Chain A
């Protein structure tokens, strides 16, 4: 059996020669392999940069908007022919006529209906709303003259932001040559320029790109997340505490565990189907409302929060539990007084990550009807609303050039929120994470 007498197949010198011979080939393979790895990492980083670069370059301009400076006469003949200063009349008056008059005054040389219509097209239809608000707020200005900045049309905005090519043939542009001429004239005398666009953050949705803002979607998201957080955090933490600290090891807890792990990987749209069939059809909750949306997102984020909270509880060393139990504390007292305080940062981190996921989620919200075109800012949990990512989806579908910019702008706002949330989670983790 012992075979120490067997000689090696090759001598040491032969072996070394063979090893040496193999080296060049093997080091080439090594280099290649390493290059694949580096290429993969670089392409990953490249995607990140490209993605963010695209969004930023398309959307950063949304925070500036083209405004036209007009000198408007609040002509009593036009807006208050009766002279009664009756509010109802003032609200419904034809403010568009004031804008038209102001534009004719600025370009007296323009004549003929088609030309005039083109001229009026330079100003946004939102401008008359602005005048209406001013008059309703202070009827005493009727009869006076005022120079003010009003929104320009989105086509003008796109031109000023160099998002359309001037050199394109006239019939492929949405602005005619003479409109461009007027625009250039206005720009030349400083009465058409890009100004800070606060409206993007303070307006609701609109069919006109120049008026559309994300406020409605932001409030909708906030209301939805409020419901989600206030339900999924307590339930998720409760479930984690039960499974980690109280649950006996038996079939039921096994089933619950497997269940949670599987739920975490169920496609989000399936949760949408659940919401539609359950919350809307069965319980009769209002469609398109943050209430139903919040409930669906609660179920969606619950597994994430449970899993993160369990990890946080697991990280508390058993010695602390034993110390508490050894003092005669009950199981619940041990958990409440010792384990939970130590696990809180970890559980909060989990909750924030869960909320970040909920904030970016749109598919299940489509299912329960939060895709409606909602102009009004929602004021309660049962008002029709939409959410920020759904607003992105809605705008991305619209044909106007100006909405591409709005969409990217909304994405920037969305990503900013997500960044703040994730950064908070990271800071929380780094600051409070203890290594036992």
Chain B
């Protein structure tokens, strides 16, 4: 039975269980008019029954579906001739791909090797057996659960409490997803990164100044010295982030100040959302803007001044990224500025300070930790930004501080290394995970510091 039909069946069984539990509870006390004798509402007994019927069945169902393919594949591989089993992973992958195509009917069986054809038949057979077994197991789990609760129903069974307990556990599960996500990120990245570091030493990766991962494609050159020095990527990332901050921080901060302290309420009401439009524009749009408009404009301007500007320059990417980050800086600064209590402003005004003196020397001074936190978050954003740099910064790993040259960044290299066909073992692919690990750690560090600073700041004025 196909998984989707089975799923519908589980749901239907649960609905049945609900009715069963409900009527059973009513029957226990002798009819609808005596339900006061029940500890909980009849519906709660129904819900409890439905839960014990559906939930375990669903859990088994989902785990099974998730693992089925991997398990069967392993079984099929074990059945393959020894010669095929000894194949390198890459070729084994191709074989499995053929096999799947045959099973799915995308490729006629006569087009593949005979042993693959046999394996495909095995695969199809195992899958049919597995699905049959799954159907039997899931349905019986559901029925057993349903009957078990039904047998337990007594007027004094605390159905509502049990049911609510389960709901609470489910809700806890929802919030635990966030933790599992982090765990998943850490585990998957760290695992692959460590495989990379077993090929390329950490020190070489972190301190090496030569980045040319393409060389390593050739099997005999795996881990050849100097190919995986990530310093040029770090430098490029920092250069572009720095340019972005030079654009975003003054404009963002000053617009926040102007809108919070100077602009009439009406102006603020319309201009603030207008600036925030910049935050809602997808980054790929900024990337396109950088490539088709800002890049060429910079080159023309450079030619006019006699400066050589590369087609894909750090300056173009940084400028556009800065524009993207303006609303981020301005709305965070705005929050921080408006959090400064009016009494401090009054204190300064009462001493005869002008508006700008009050803002510069009292308001900003008070809001400084918050603003710094906001800027740290913005930097973390700039470092992790991908599409703009992928489209506008280029691929050449130059170690330069000249914003008119092309540089590459950590995120650009991750994308370049991973987009397209790949095997999971080449150092080239694994290098992307090592870069991802660095990126994750650096942005995490920035975020933790920034969130801490901002929280301390908010507490101060609460």
A–B direct contact (CB < 8 Å) = yes
Name the segment of A22-30, A146-154, A203-211, A316-324 touching the other chain.
A22-30
Check if B175 sits within 8 Å of A256, measured CB to CB.
yes
Cβ of A86 within 8 Å of any chain B Cβ, yes or no, is no
Whether A256 touches B178, Cβ cut-off 8 Å, given contacts A37-B255, A360-B282, A396-B391, is yes
Check if B418 sits within 8 Å of A238, measured CB to CB.
no
Check if A273 sits within 8 Å of B447, measured CB to CB.
no
Cβ of A241 within 8 Å of any chain B Cβ, yes or no, is yes
Residues from chain A with a CB closer than 8 A to the CB of B73 are 284
Whether A266 touches B440, Cβ cut-off 8 Å, given contacts A34-B356, A235-B177, is yes
Residues from chain B with a CB closer than 8 A to the CB of A371 are 419
Whether A362 touches B326, Cβ cut-off 8 Å, given contacts A48-B275, A54-B293, A265-B381, is no
Q: How many A-B residue pairs have CB under 8 A?
A: 271
Name the segment of A39-47, A92-100, A155-163, A190-198 touching the other chain.
A39-47
Check if A51 sits within 8 Å of B185, measured CB to CB.
no
- State which of A270, A332, A367, A418 has its C-beta within 8 Å of the C-beta of B282: A418
Besides A19-B352, A239-B178, A306-B175, 13 more A-B contacts (Cβ < 8 Å) are A29-B356, A30-B357, A33-B356, A37-B261, A238-B173, A246-B171, A247-B172, A260-B175, A269-B386, A269-B414, A269-B439, A366-B418, A418-B280
Name the segment of A115-123, A135-143, A171-179, A407-415 touching the other chain.
A407-415
Check if A239 sits within 8 Å of B175, measured CB to CB.
yes
Taking beta carbons and an 8 Å cutoff, which residues of A are in contact with B?
Answer: 19, 26-27, 29-30, 32-34, 36-41, 43-45, 47-48, 51, 54-55, 58, 234-243, 246-247, 255-256, 258-263, 265-271, 273-274, 276-278, 281-284, 299, 302-303, 306, 330-332, 356, 359-363, 366-367, 369, 371, 389-390, 392-393, 396-397, 404, 407-408, 411, 414-415, 418, 422
Please, how many angstroms separate the alpha-carbon atoms of A235 and B179 in the complex? 13
Please, how many angstroms separate the alpha-carbon atoms of A67 and B327 in the complex? 43
Check if B354 sits within 8 Å of A26, measured CB to CB.
yes
Check if A330 sits within 8 Å of B189, measured CB to CB.
no
**Bitwise interface map of B from 373 to 414 toward A, beta carbon under 8 Å scored 1, else 0:** 000010011011111001100000000000000000001001
A40 nearest in chain B by CB position? B254
B272 nearest in chain A by CB position? A41
Check if A33 sits within 8 Å of B415, measured CB to CB.
no
A271 nearest in chain B by CB position? B185
- State which of A36, A38, A356, A360 has its C-beta within 8 Å of the C-beta of B284: A360
Please, how many angstroms separate the alpha-carbon atoms of A361 and B167 in the complex? 33
Check if A243 sits within 8 Å of B278, measured CB to CB.
no
* Chain A at the B interface: SS class: helix
**Bitwise interface map of B from 251 to 273 toward A, beta carbon under 8 Å scored 1, else 0:** 11111011101110000000100
Residues from chain B with a CB closer than 8 A to the CB of A55 are 285, 288-289
A/B interface sample: 23 pairs, CB < 8 A: A36-B254, A37-B257, A40-B253, A41-B254, A43-B251, A47-B278, A240-B175, A242-B172, A243-B175, A256-B175, A266-B384, A267-B381, A269-B384, A269-B439, A270-B185, A270-B443, A273-B414, A277-B192, A278-B188, A330-B164, A360-B283, A363-B386, A366-B386
User: Closest Cβ of chain A: how far from B126's Cβ, in Å?
Assistant: 15
Cβ of B142 within 8 Å of any chain A Cβ, yes or no, is no
Check if A256 sits within 8 Å of B258, measured CB to CB.
no
Whether A277 touches B189, Cβ cut-off 8 Å, given contacts A360-B283, A396-B391, is yes
Which 4 pairs show the lowest CB-CB distances between chains A and B?
Answer: A267-B384, A37-B258, A360-B282, A238-B174
A359 nearest in chain B by CB position? B282
- State which of B66, B179, B355 has its C-beta within 8 Å of the C-beta of A259: B179
User: Closest Cβ of chain A: how far from B12's Cβ, in Å?
Assistant: 20
User: Closest Cβ of chain A: how far from B153's Cβ, in Å?
Assistant: 19
Please, how many angstroms separate the alpha-carbon atoms of A237 and B390 in the complex? 34
Most chain A C-beta atoms within 10 Å of own C-beta, residue among B181, B281, B444: B181
Check if A273 sits within 8 Å of B251, measured CB to CB.
no
Residues from chain A with a CB closer than 8 A to the CB of B259 are 41
